[in-house]
Structure 1
Amino acid sequence: MAIKKLSKGDLLYGYTYSYSTKDVEPGKYFPGQERVRSAFDLALRTELEGYNLYVSGPEGIGRTIYTLTTLKDASKNKRVPEDICYVNNFDNPLKPKPLLLPAGLGKAFAQDIERAIEALKEEIPKAFESKEYEEEVSRITKRVESKKEEIIQRLAEEAQKHSLGVVFTPAGIRLLPLVGRRVITEEELYANPRLQESYEKNLSEFEEEFRDFMRSLRELDHSLSDEILELRNKVASYVVDKVFSRFESKYTPYDGLSEHIKSLKLELVKNTDLFLSWHTSKGNIAIQKMLEKSFNAFRVNVIVDNSDLEGAPVVFCEVPTFQNLFGRVFYTAEMGVLYADHMSLSAGCLHRARGGYLVLRVSDLLKNPFLWDAFKKVLMHKKIYMPLHPFEDSLLPFVGISPEPVPADFKVVLIGDPYLYYLLYNYDPEFRRLFKVKADFDPIVDIGDELIEAFPKILRKIVEEEGIRHLSPDALSELFKYGVELSGSRKKFNVVFGYLVDVVREAQSFVEDDGFIKGEHIRKAINEKVLRSNLIEEKVRKAIEEGKVILRIEGEEVGQINGLSVIDLGDYSFGKPTRITASIYVGDKGIINIEREVELSGPIHSKGVLILSGYIGRKYGRDMPLHLSCTLTFEQSYDEVEGDSASMAELLAILSAIAEVPLKQYIAVTGSIDQLGNVQPVGGIKEKVESFYKTCKIRGLKGIEGVIVPQRNYDNLILSDEVLDSVEKGEFHIYTVDSVD
């Protein structure tokens, strides 16, 4: 067993800055993320189906900032997408039609139509009140009335031949008996049976001819109505054409628009009475307010106006609900029923992102499984449908509209953690087809010149954005050390800046003057952060101090050693010294793992015990059988024991018990071994070393205490200044080994 003793110089880490955040330019840097840059490049340059992007990484690493910054830069090189308008479908008003117009043209078209409607409110009534129109109506009416008089004259003459007279009543023309030149009244008719019999006979003989006369009169009435209607339509069409001629030519080159304008003009002509009613109701606000709704049928609803864009849109949907994503239909209640039309439609993020990029947090999207399925259908079918129902808790009946879908054309970027990515990848086949590119943020990067230079610039940017005080050189150095500590390696750095910024925010509260945040403020913020979470650690340490947890750190003992374990509470981890004992007696049972016997041993710990059994057999049982029984346990451990980081300590306890060679109780041991005797790295090195140091400090340091750790964990020795100072003074010692032999 080659043991190396480490000095303080071997354990130093971090970087010492000579300048503050005030001395550098702000910048948004993402050091060590080449994998992410490559993934974004692939997704952005590939227009094929399914090459959407999943941005994976821990919260606080800058996933959202990087995504939005990169997409905004890329959007500048893409064309501005079309405006999205909805117009009335005059053939089926329940299915409004979308129009895609060049950016800015949708708004202009809507304004032109609005101006046209306002103009027609004045021009149409004016045209129908003109002298020319009234004269033409009079001419048509006189001509038809003249023909009607001729027919009525002939009717009277023919009726007279059958002793019948023509009488005009409110109900129409009637035939009554004619005696001489006098028409008999109904009272006289019913009073004279002979006259009545003669009347019925004459009426029957003349009935067919009478019907022909009446048919001719009705045809003339229809002809009059048709001619007046034709005249009205002609006049209205002339007025509509005149108003539309002011702007119509601007829109003729665009597909679908000319056809809509043509249908719109016909519909305006059909609704001439609406404009006349508006004119006659002037001064009656209630009626005009009611009539105003009817004009919506002609208006244009611009749900997406891209006139202000200079490139493709980048839309970050922070609260993805059905309405926020797919848009909304605003219903209004009338007579207990909910109604809506094309002017009631409102765009969602899917509409606004068309032609550009849509950014979503996958955790928010998955909160509603129906929303996730609907969203995937948009990506698969390339169509954006609007929800039909007015709102979930409505009990009123509604006349639902079903707008025609808008073509979906955008790239989606989902932001989430790695766990959700693998969950979706393994259990949702559609996810694999739709999100073929993953940008995986690495929270732990190598310390290099790029990182050292970028670190203060990133903080300068955050300082400006949040209005935080500037950091002094020693504050930068302390915060950099904290980033190294969070990484778990002296050669690495944790770039989840969310953790670091929280410390800066809290450190600012300790600054009493108007100056910089200093190193002492950073250290205090970190210590306060620990203090808020280490209650259980203090309880454990108190139990050790009071002797309730039996722990010997003086002298030597056979078959007993101090191992080191880690307790992870989620927001805080700490180490705990643990007494491991081995008891040897005559027998052939081999090594008995007491924790396993009582089902308190996790699978990895059980594997570790079996591995050390293999090592003992390989080392000492090649030439002769090993006849021994050994019980091995973690003393005063009442929870499940998991992990193999104590296997080296367990082996030493067993060998000590077999050879009756005492072990130094003031030296704690951690490390995993393989069957060949190699010492393997383990986790939680910092917590383990510092926990034993604190335990020894409670009992009083004598200058002989220390820990043995795997050589391969050398880079993980990120210790507090207090421990480093103790190492420098020779009060506490740290040793590394790479083999148990």
Structure 2
Amino acid sequence: MPKLAPLLPDSLQPDFSQLIDAVADLPQSPWKILFPYASQQLTDAIALPHRLITLCMNDWATGIAFIDSTLSSLPESPLYQCLNSYGQLELFGEVTLEADALTLSPGAILQQQNGLLGISLPPLLENPQLWYQVKGYLLSGILRWHDGYGAKHIKKMQLPKGEQPRCKLILIGSRSQFAELNQLDPEFSALTQQFCEIADEAKVTSASISAIIALIEQQAALAGITKITTSAKNKLLQHLSARRDHQHYVQLNASYLSKLLSYCHYRFGQELTPNAIADFISTQQQAMRLPQHYSDESIVERQIPIALEGKAIGQVNGLSVVELEGHPLEFGEVFRVTAAEFLGDGEVVDVERKAEMAGNIHSKAMMIVESYLSQVFGKEEHVPFSANIVFEQSYSHTDGDSAAVATYVALISALAQLSVRQDVAMTGSMDQAGNVLAVGGINEKVAAIYRTAQLKQLQQPVLVLIPASNLVNLCCDDALVEAVNKQRLIIYPIEHVEQAIEIAIAEVDKVYEAVRTRIKELNGQEEGDTSWLKKLMRYWQA
């Protein structure tokens, strides 16, 4: 097996400076460059007779920016309005009767005659009756005053006939919201409509970089920022890349950009610099770090025993990601995977699953570990071992397959009775051939092992093993890059589980031979016992 080389610091985060330097002129319609098909669909919808346009996206502000940009690029921009919060009154107007005088107050649909009205999808999901009123307009093209607010209370007077406003509706929501609407009304997908979709991310290439910079500068102008230094552009793109967890993509979420740029303008004025961006990132992290602080405190106080020195049999440092709901928060944690072997029939007992504290993905991963173990050793002769696998001090529901490599290494260590280096942490899924597969949250996991080493005030470096297929997802912060540069943190990308054994225990041949030797010894004892029993039976039969 070829010798592995640790990662170099420049592979831990993307560098967009050369692409930024090559940008000459900024385009007037960056959305059209980044999402040409969606822009064309929206443009076509204006000319086509369809009354419904569905815009699929995750962020409302991003969707509005896309619509504004697309419509402003047309030779004749149609009348346009967007509603994020609305009800029957805002859409269909109001009907009142006072002293036998009927008053008709038009709603947004009638006000946008021959124009476009963008509406957010969630209010329709909360009020299905309102959706069916909207659907009635989409099918007939007629706005009935009977749908107006207060119309049901008009008993003494005949309401006028419906209007034909020729207003097209842009229904704006995420895929999950459209799926919910389709469950509410299975006929929704059969409606005549023009569909377009945009993402809140973009791939950074020489062809797209000018459009990405243009979008950032548009949002910066709205926040009051008039100048962005070249180094600040690179720093910002690195941060947006980290939020996307991909070195070739950046997150383009208008709501988040507005939040970031407004803060930087408030604190540092009209010029955006790397220090301003770093201050925003640090402030946001510190504001949400209380749960992580409690987790770190438990390690410092040794309530959660994590060993990063010495060696131990059947004990491996795994890496996980804690995901908290409410205000979304993710951070990495180091945890112990332990294996205890005993005489048995080759079964790997997953204690998490037995205790009903694990999900289906976790259970599948443990079965794959057991399957690969059987392939390595079970083809030659019966494996007389079983083992318990435990995620120590796990008190909540566990799911995911990213601990498969750590589990296999702990298992092999226990079976071979060879110790594992405790200054190593690892993450990775695996298949039945032993190949290491990509996992999620790789940046949080790498940060977790280094943070834990700092909490324990280690003087020697710590090692972390990650799937080689996750290299493109590495978007580490400057502190981690410096740690790798000074060799306080050493990262090895691995492609096969045997590479993890090589680094954490010893040469694979030596480790596997130790397991096979123990198997032969125990199988030999069983054969000897069986032979003795046969002799005893023959004696009694005689």
Tell me, yes or no, if the aligned pair for 1:19 and 1:472 is still in contact at 8 Å. no
Q: Which amino acid aligns with 2:277?
A: I
Q: Name the CA shift for 1:569/1:389 in 2 (closer, same or farther; >3 Å).
A: closer
Residues 38-57 of structure 1, C-alpha deviations (whole Å, 9 max, x = no match)? 4325534443x5x7321111
Distance in 1 between residues matched to 2:408 and 2:225, nearest whole Å: 53
Distance in 1 between residues matched to 2:265 and 2:71, nearest whole Å: 33
| More moved, 491-500 vs 38-47 | 38-47
**Aligned with residue 381 of structure 2, among 624, 630, 639:** 624
Measure how far apart 1:500 and its partner are.
2.5
Q: Which amino acid aligns with 1:8?
A: P
**Aligned with residue 546 of structure 1, among 289, 301, 309:** 301
Distance in 1 between residues matched to 2:125 and 2:68, nearest whole Å: 21
Please tell me whether residue 464 in structure 1 is matched to residue 221 in structure 2. Answer: yes
**Aligned with residue 340 of structure 1, among 84, 101, 123:** 101
Measure how far apart 1:426 and its partner are.
4.2
| More moved, 586-595 vs 433-442 | 433-442
Q: Which amino acid aligns with 1:36?
A: A
Aligned to 2:279: 524
Aligned to 1:32: 34
| More moved, 725-734 vs 680-689 | 725-734
Residues 291-333 of structure 1, C-alpha deviations (whole Å, 9 max, x = no match)? xxxxxxxxxxxxxxxxxxxx7432334443222222222322x
Of the two, which has the highest radius of gyration? Answer: 1
Residues 173-215 of structure 1, C-alpha deviations (whole Å, 9 max, x = no match)? xxxxxxxxxxxxxxxxxxxxxxxxxxxxxxxxxxxxxxxxxxx
Aligned to 1:314: 80
Q: Name the CA shift for 1:367/1:714 in 2 (closer, same or farther; >3 Å).
A: same
Measure how far apart 1:556 and its partner are.
1.2
Aligned to 1:667: 424
Please tell me whether residue 592 in structure 1 is matched to residue 349 in structure 2. Answer: yes
Aligned to 1:699: 456
Measure how far apart 1:393 and its partner are.
11
**Aligned with residue 111 of structure 2, among 342, 352, 357:** 352
Q: Give the secondary structure class of the aligned counterpart of 1:498.
A: helix
Tell me, yes or no, if the aligned pair for 1:75 and 1:313 is still in contact at 8 Å. no
Residues 124-176 of structure 1, C-alpha deviations (whole Å, 9 max, x = no match)? xxxxxxxxxxxxxxxxxxxxxxxxxxxxxxxxxxxxxxxxxxxxxxxxxxxxx
Measure how far apart 1:699 and its partner are.
1.8
Measure how far apart 1:568 and its partner are.
1.0
**Greater RCO, 1 or 2 (C-alpha within 8 Å, sep 6+):** 1
Question: TM-score, length-normalised on structure 1?
Answer: 0.63
Distance in 1 between residues matched to 2:215 and 2:148, nearest whole Å: 47
Tell me, yes or no, if the aligned pair for 1:590 and 1:627 is still in contact at 8 Å. no
Q: Give the secondary structure class of the aligned counterpart of 2:126.
A: coil
Q: Name the CA shift for 1:676/1:390 in 2 (closer, same or farther; >3 Å).
A: closer
Q: Which amino acid aligns with 2:352?
A: E
Residues 713-724 of structure 1: pairs in structure 2 closer than 5 A:
713-724=470-481
Question: TM-score, length-normalised on structure 2?
Answer: 0.84
Distance in 2 between residues matched to 1:57 and 1:414, nearest whole Å: 11
Q: Which amino acid aligns with 1:32?
A: L
Measure how far apart 1:678 and its partner are.
0.8
Tell me, yes or no, if the aligned pair for 1:313 and 1:352 is still in contact at 8 Å. no
Tell me, yes or no, if the aligned pair for 2:338 and 2:390 is still in contact at 8 Å. yes
Q: Name the CA shift for 1:699/1:62 in 2 (closer, same or farther; >3 Å).
A: same
Aligned to 1:738: 495
Measure how far apart 1:390 and its partner are.
6.7
Residues 325-474 of structure 1: pairs in structure 2 closer than 5 A:
325-332=91-98, 334=99, 339-341=100-102, 344-387=103-146, 391=150, 399-407=156-164, 409-434=166-191, 436-468=193-225, 470-474=227-231
Tell me, yes or no, if the aligned pair for 1:317 and 1:325 is still in contact at 8 Å. no
Aligned to 1:560: 315
Distance in 1 between residues matched to 2:67 and 2:181, nearest whole Å: 21
Residues 85-234 of structure 1: pairs in structure 2 closer than 5 A:
none
Measure how far apart 1:467 and its partner are.
2.5
Q: Which amino acid aligns with 1:726?
A: A
Measure how far apart 1:544 and its partner are.
0.5
Tell me, yes or no, if the aligned pair for 1:378 and 1:408 is still in contact at 8 Å. no
Q: Give the secondary structure class of the aligned counterpart of 1:5.
A: coil
Distance in 2 between residues matched to 1:710 and 1:466, nearest whole Å: 40
Distance in 2 between residues matched to 1:382 and 1:25, nearest whole Å: 41
Q: How many residues get paired?
A: 492
Distance in 1 between residues matched to 2:457 and 2:306, nearest whole Å: 14
Tell me, yes or no, if the aligned pair for 2:202 and 2:252 is still in contact at 8 Å. yes
Tell me, yes or no, if the aligned pair for 1:584 and 1:631 is still in contact at 8 Å. yes
Measure how far apart 1:462 and its partner are.
2.5
Residues 479-527 of structure 1, C-alpha deviations (whole Å, 9 max, x = no match)? 111111111011111111322331222223332xx66232111101111
Q: Name the CA shift for 1:469/1:533 in 2 (closer, same or farther; >3 Å).
A: farther
| More moved, 645-654 vs 421-430 | 421-430
Measure how far apart 1:719 and its partner are.
0.8
Unpaired runs of 5+ residues, structure 2, are 499-542
**Aligned with residue 682 of structure 1, among 435, 439, 452:** 439
Distance in 2 between residues matched to 1:551 and 1:603, nearest whole Å: 27
Distance in 2 between residues matched to 1:388 and 1:12, nearest whole Å: 56
Measure how far apart 1:533 and its partner are.
0.8
Distance in 2 between residues matched to 1:652 and 1:427, nearest whole Å: 49
Residues 333-381 of structure 1, C-alpha deviations (whole Å, 9 max, x = no match)? x3xxxx233xx22222222333332221111333322111111011112
Q: Name the CA shift for 1:19/1:683 in 2 (closer, same or farther; >3 Å).
A: closer
Root mean square deviation of aligned Cα = 2.6
Q: Which amino acid aligns with 1:325?
A: L
**Aligned with residue 536 of structure 1, among 277, 283, 291:** 291
Aligned to 1:324: 90
Distance in 2 between residues matched to 1:558 and 1:468, nearest whole Å: 58
Residues 410-432 of structure 1, C-alpha deviations (whole Å, 9 max, x = no match)? 33211111210122234422211
Tell me, yes or no, if the aligned pair for 1:672 and 1:680 is still in contact at 8 Å. yes
Distance in 1 between residues matched to 2:159 and 2:75, nearest whole Å: 32
**Aligned with residue 242 of structure 2, among 485, 488, 500:** 485
Unpaired runs of 5+ residues, structure 1, are 77-310
Distance in 1 between residues matched to 2:142 and 2:237, nearest whole Å: 49
Q: Name the CA shift for 1:350/1:328 in 2 (closer, same or farther; >3 Å).
A: same
Measure how far apart 1:624 and its partner are.
1.4
Aligned to 2:8: 7
Distance in 2 between residues matched to 1:722 and 1:62, nearest whole Å: 31
Aligned to 1:64: 64
Q: Percent identity?
A: 25
Distance in 2 between residues matched to 1:427 and 1:725, nearest whole Å: 53
Tell me, yes or no, if the aligned pair for 1:340 and 1:400 is still in contact at 8 Å. no
Tell me, yes or no, if the aligned pair for 2:17 and 2:234 is still in contact at 8 Å. yes
Q: Name the CA shift for 1:390/1:65 in 2 (closer, same or farther; >3 Å).
A: closer
